[in-house]
Structure 1
Amino acid sequence: MRPTVHDIAAAAGVSLATVDRVLNGRPGVRRQTVEKVEGAVLRLGYVRDVTAANLARRRVYPLIFVVPGGPNSFMRNLETEIRAAAERSSAERTAITIETVPAFDPGALARVLEAIDPASVAGVGLVATDTAEVREAVARLTDAGVHVATLVSDLPGSSRTHFCGIDNLAAGRTAAGLIGRFCHRRHGKVLMVAGSMKLSDHMDRAAGFTELLRAEFPDLEILDPVEANDDAERVKQVVMDALEADPEIVAVYNLGAGNRGLIKALSAHRQRALSVVAHEVTAHSRQALADGLFDAVINQDCGHEVRSAIRVLKARADGLDPLSAQERIRIDIFLKDNLP
């Protein structure tokens, strides 16, 4: 049975109030008494439950989330989940602030991070753009003792604390496996559409996709990724241009956002037998699956990612390690037949 504060008080011959003062580093206790309590703690092997102690003190964790603005449906869903968490603040003992920055603007993201007062926050969550200036801004926060969690898109090689997102290499490999099977060993080319190759999730998806498709489906030729900044009109145009210019394209993999534009382009080419895989279940991708324009959608649970970031940042603020199994974000595959 684990020793309790009652056991410490009895072993040291002091009151529970005195034990509480010593464990929490509060003044008003003689040095000799402090040594008695600390000695009892060592002899009994007492391990303090930091979470319970903070609960008893009603500690509040100020958290800041920084997300891209704009029309990206998935990012707006992510922001909705953060706002829902903010509404649970009284129960979860958090004080959540949301900052939005222009999408694909690492300078704006870095400036928001640099403006954060480390003394005012317990942790920061952000959707990262993988550039040197963002890594430097994150390092400034972590050097000041602020834990940083990345969501959706990671910042590899940085001092961030934790990544709350799917394994994007595996997601890309999953997309390749699906397209390879959907194409039934057809010869042809695969068009890959990315938002930005400065995002680690897009880079990893492209790398995983390319690796597996080349290894297991050599009859399919992969075209170089076309960057469209997750803009629906831009996605529509690059896909339209590619399909009109190259009749050998038999599949499309949209590894970023902008699915509304992809849907418009595919609708204009319904006569083409195309295998299509995209990311994230939204109202638009759900309808595209139902209409047969998309064959599969790979999804990540943005609500789980937000809850994970909050748990991780609170645990790290308490000096604790998060439970890795609890924080693992699952890759979901949806066809029109299994949509939730």
Structure 2
Amino acid sequence: MQDVAREAGVSLATADRVLNGRAGVRGVTAERVRDAVVRLGYRPNLAAARLARGETYRFCFVLPVGTNVFMRLLAEQVSNTASWLAANNAYIDTLRVDVFAPETLASALEGLVGHYDGIAVVALDHPRVRAAIDDLASAGVAVVTLVSDVPSSHRLHYVGIDNIAAGRTAATLLGRFAGGRRGTVGLIVGTPALRDHAERQFGFTQVLAGEYLALKVLPVEESLDEDERTEAIVARMLRDASDLVGLYNAGAGNRGVAAAISAANRADDLIFIGHDLTDDTRRFLLRGVMDAVINQDAGHQSRSAARVLLAHCAGEPLLNEQERIRIDIFVRDNLP
């Protein structure tokens, strides 16, 4: 900024007023400053400006408890993101909560009012949770929903994939892999109360019902993202549905699905589509137990949530294209 002021022949204070859009500068003088900016290629260092102003922000990431492997990866990435944020004068705390219990999650969010500038939460779409998010927003706390959305709340932004599109993608993959076979298809969700799981279920059944009429979806099963419960569900499906062609697991619990398929010696003929590239799903793909994984980048989601909160609190611009979370599809042959 000193270089800009010198180039334009004005004081540092005048250059600062022009660059920050404040009044009190004659038009011809402001034009000289803007010309100097163009000639010098000046770009403000936003992090340095925050540091100079002594601005600090504190964020809380509310993540699920439990054994969900993807959520463990997300927690690790949040920890990595905290190091980057610290250099920008912003700090992260992590709170682990049972997100399947709406009263518990809502109470945890209510307890954060007045303690943080921004919250990122893996949210349950429930009236109590929506009300808690709205109370945070009313108190001036920016709320970002992460992985699972609550669109009717006053949340600032949703960071995650298009889950209806993810479910539709799973159905297209399974339908094409089936190659014209007739039979039934198993569908498992962690809980329909999580909007990401409900939207995946909707997208999946929409495509199968409209485009793959030879495949009939069995009644949806609820696993609560628990491996043992998921294994029991799949074992029962394999026992009761002699014409079972494939399985789509819209949540976690892939270890349970793989264990039941392997125990029944059905890996060669049963199509298995699931979510999130982890050490487990990578191994299942390589062994032929799993056919495709629909992935969302945990690191991208963590960094995006942090960027959205920081930009909002600091009043800085956001590159929306940078914050779009892609749907990745992995099979055995394109594993990174």
TM-score range, shorter chain: 0.7 to 0.9
Q: Say if 2:14 and 2:25, in contact at 8 Å, map to a contact too.
A: no
Deviates more, 1:85-94 or 1:280-289: 85-94
Q: Pick the aligned partner of 2:25 from 40, 50, 53.
A: 40
Cα distance per residue 1:127-169 (max 9 Å; x no partner): 0011011110100111111111111111121111111111101
SS at match of 1:240: helix
Distance 1:66 1:271, change over 3 A: closer
1:1-340 counterparts in 2 under 5 A? Answer: 10=10, 16=12, 38-40=23-25, 44=30, 51=46, 53-118=49-114, 120-271=115-266, 273-340=269-336
Distance 1:42 1:270, change over 3 A: farther
Figure out how many residues of one structure are paired with residues of the other and give that number.
Answer: 321
**In structure 1, distance between residues paired with 2:248 and 2:6:** 62
Cα distance per residue 1:272-296 (max 9 Å; x no partner): 7211100011111111111111000
Q: Structure 1 length normalisation: TM-score? A: 0.87
Distance 1:326 1:241, change over 3 A: same
**In structure 2, distance between residues paired with 1:322 and 1:89:** 16
**In structure 2, distance between residues paired with 1:41 and 1:228:** 67
Partner in structure 2 of residue 27 of structure 1: none
TM-fit CA distance, 1:112:
1.3
> What stretches of structure 1 of length at least 5 have no aligned partner?
25-36
Q: Say if 1:210 and 1:222, in contact at 8 Å, map to a contact too.
A: yes
Distance 1:162 1:4, change over 3 A: farther
Give the residue type in structure 2 aligned to 1:62.
R
Give the residue type in structure 2 aligned to 1:92.
N
Cα distance per residue 1:143-199 (max 9 Å; x no partner): 111111111111121111111111101100100010001100110111000000001
Distance 1:188 1:20, change over 3 A: same
Cα distance per residue 1:81-124 (max 9 Å; x no partner): 11112233432322110000124112111111111133x32211
Q: Say if 2:99 and 2:122, in contact at 8 Å, map to a contact too.
A: no
SS at match of 2:135: helix
Partner in structure 2 of residue 30 of structure 1: none
> What stretches of structure 2 of length at least 5 have no aligned partner?
35-42
Q: Say if 2:65 and 2:96, in contact at 8 Å, map to a contact too.
A: yes
SS at match of 2:324: coil
Distance 1:7 1:276, change over 3 A: same
TM-fit CA distance, 1:270:
1.6
Q: Structure 2 length normalisation: TM-score? A: 0.88
TM-fit CA distance, 1:57:
2.6
**In structure 1, distance between residues paired with 2:145 and 2:9:** 43
Q: Say if 2:183 and 2:244, in contact at 8 Å, map to a contact too.
A: yes
RMSD: 2.6
Q: Say if 2:230 and 2:253, in contact at 8 Å, map to a contact too.
A: yes
SS at match of 2:52: helix
Cα distance per residue 1:233-286 (max 9 Å; x no partner): 000001111110110111000000011111111111224721110001111111
Q: Say if 1:65 and 1:99, in contact at 8 Å, map to a contact too.
A: yes
TM-fit CA distance, 1:61:
2.0
**In structure 2, distance between residues paired with 1:278 and 1:7:** 59
SS at match of 1:71: coil
Deviates more, 1:234-243 or 1:81-90: 81-90
Give the residue type in structure 1 aligned to 2:309.
L
Q: Say if 1:8 and 1:40, in contact at 8 Å, map to a contact too.
A: no
Percent identity of the aligned residues?
A: 44
Q: Say if 2:18 and 2:25, in contact at 8 Å, map to a contact too.
A: no
TM-fit CA distance, 1:17:
5.2
Give the residue type in structure 2 aligned to 1:61.
Y
Partner in structure 1 of residue 40 of structure 2: none
Deviates more, 1:271-280 or 1:166-175: 271-280
Distance 1:173 1:20, change over 3 A: same
SS at match of 2:248: strand
